């Protein structure tokens, strides 16, 4: 087994952790943010650019690659890393969230999920066993167990039944794994119910996984409730395994997740918002499409040293966006991902220095009241 996790340091005034995940394709320093590359590409960014700005691991999606171009084709062409020219680790989501977001187009049974493809309407089936088989064919370094991402709000009876079924599916995923070099993470469900979260975590720990994730967050609940679930559930997970909060989120969500002991995050927010002209900065978010930036010679963030902020003005970025130029998406995405990755790098350094509490306070001190923007979490991959 080429996967391991070393807990290097903890913060003295919070639950923040500094760790290192070892995989067959290199180390991942935690806390870490994983750019989302759903269809074997992080939209509008070259792989070389991702490496340049500090991306350590990216996320790809089983559901989308299963439907197009097909996992068997990717395998014949040398695996996902060669296919997309990415040399570092890849984590694959199991496809469960995408299947369950299809609503009336899918049918859940104990065996798995039967659904209609969003591409051509054809009938397809994903089971715990086939999800693992697809992920292994892609050559992922970290596999995720097949689960149901429970909507919010939901009746407790439904949440309990779904959580129990996801636990049974997790055991089947564990039994189906054949690639000893890849890690397999279990996903804690249970909605917003503390007791169901605790039961789910205990069952997964009893089965035994290489890492553990919190699923079913950023699905419509308010941030304080999300943080409450994190604060209750993360301490229930083994300290010697990575802890991954799926589909989260805003810069604030990341800081609060780290404060509560999370190690790994992913979200479409930096990339999707970039394509919609919303840019993240040390002082909050700005909407570059606004007329106020038409003659603004300043960089997006005067405190940022990314390629975009070193070379382009807000006025130019607004001009590109208003003209629907492809370069707008490229530059905006570069900046947003750089911001997220630097936020994580700063968090790692602060934990090493025993000053994450100060880092968190400074993060909030520098931010201005954000504009009214729609926040998008795990509700659809970019």
The one catalytic residue in 93, 141, 147, 263 is 93
What is the chain's length? 382
| Degrees, nearest 5: CA angle 175-57-76 | 60
Q: What is the dihedral of CA 157, 222, 12, 18, to 10 degrees?
A: 80
Structure tokens at 32: 């870490």
| Residue 145 CB coordination number (10 Å) | 30
Backbone dihedral region for residue 36 (phi beyond 0: left; psi -120 to 50: alpha; all else: beta): beta
Nearest CA to 324 out of 286, 289, 371 is that of 289
Pairing relationship of beta strands 90-93 and 106-108 according to DSSP bridges = unpaired
How far apart CA 184 and CA 128 sit, in angstroms, is: 12
The residue behind tokens 């039961």 is 199
Nearest CA to 184 out of 234, 129, 229, 226 is that of 129
The one catalytic residue in 11, 263, 266, 301 is 266
Beta pairing partners, 125: 114
Active site (annotated) includes residue 266: yes
DSSP 235-258: GGS-TTS-EEETT--SHHHHHHHH
- 266 and 281 Cβ atoms separated by less than 8 Å: no
Nearest CA to 175 out of 164, 188, 186, 165 is that of 186
- Reduced to 3 states (helix: H, G, I; strand: E, B; else coil), residue 309 is helix
Structure tokens at 110: 């104990």
Nearest CA to 199 out of 215, 209, 188, 213 is that of 188
Active site (annotated) includes residue 93: yes
| Degrees, nearest 5: CA angle 328-97-372 | 45
Nearest CA to 149 out of 134, 165, 135, 133 is that of 165
Q: Which residues are catalytic?
A: 93, 266
């Amino acid at each position: 087994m080429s996967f391991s996790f070393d807990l290097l340091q903890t913060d003295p005034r919070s639950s923040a952790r500094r760790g290192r995940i070892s995989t067959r394709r290199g180390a991942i320093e935690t806390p870490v943010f994983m750019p989302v590359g759903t269809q074997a590409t992080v939209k509008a960014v070259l792989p070389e650019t991702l490496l340049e700005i500090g991306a350590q691991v990216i996320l790809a999606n089983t559901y989308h690659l299963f439907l197009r171009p097909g996992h068997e084709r990717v395998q014949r062409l040398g695996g996902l890393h060669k296919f997309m020219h990415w040399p570092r680790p890849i984590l694959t989501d199991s496809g469960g969230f995408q299947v369950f977001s299809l609503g009336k187009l899918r049918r859940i049974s104990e065996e798995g999920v039967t659904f209609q493809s969003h591409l051509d309407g054809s009938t397809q089936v994903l089971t715990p066993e086939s999800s693992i088989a697809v992920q292994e064919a892609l050559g992922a370094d970290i596999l995720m167990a097949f689960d149901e991402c429970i909507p919010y709000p939901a009746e407790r009876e439904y949440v309990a039944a779904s959580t129990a079924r996801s636990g049974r599916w997790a055991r089947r995923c564990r039994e189906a794994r054949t690639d000893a070099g890849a890690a397999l993470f279990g996903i804690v469900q249970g909605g917003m119910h503390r007791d169901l979260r605790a039961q789910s975590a205990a069952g997964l720990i009893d089965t035994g996984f290489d890492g553990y994730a919190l699923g079913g967050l950023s699905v419509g609940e308010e941030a304080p409730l999300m943080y409450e679930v994190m604060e209750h559930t993360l301490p229930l997970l083994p300290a010697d395994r990575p802890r991954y909060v799926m589909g989260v989120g805003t810069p604030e969500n990341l800081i609060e997740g780290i404060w509560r002991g999370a190690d790994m995050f992913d979200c479409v927010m930096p990339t999707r918002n970039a394509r919609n002209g919303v840019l993240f900065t040390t002082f909050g978010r700005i909407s570059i499409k606004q007329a106020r930036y038409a003659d603004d010679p300043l960089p997006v963030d005067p405190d940022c040293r990314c390629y975009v902020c070193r070379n382009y003005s807000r006025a130019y970025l607004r001009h590109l966006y208003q003209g629907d130029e492809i370069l707008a998406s490229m530059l905006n995405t570069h900046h947003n991902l750089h911001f997220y990755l630097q936020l994580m790098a700063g968090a790692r350094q602060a934990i090493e220095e025993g000053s994450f509490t100060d880092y968190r306070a400074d993060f909030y001190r520098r931010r201005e009241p954000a504009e009214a923007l729609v926040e998008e979490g795990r509700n659809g991959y970019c």
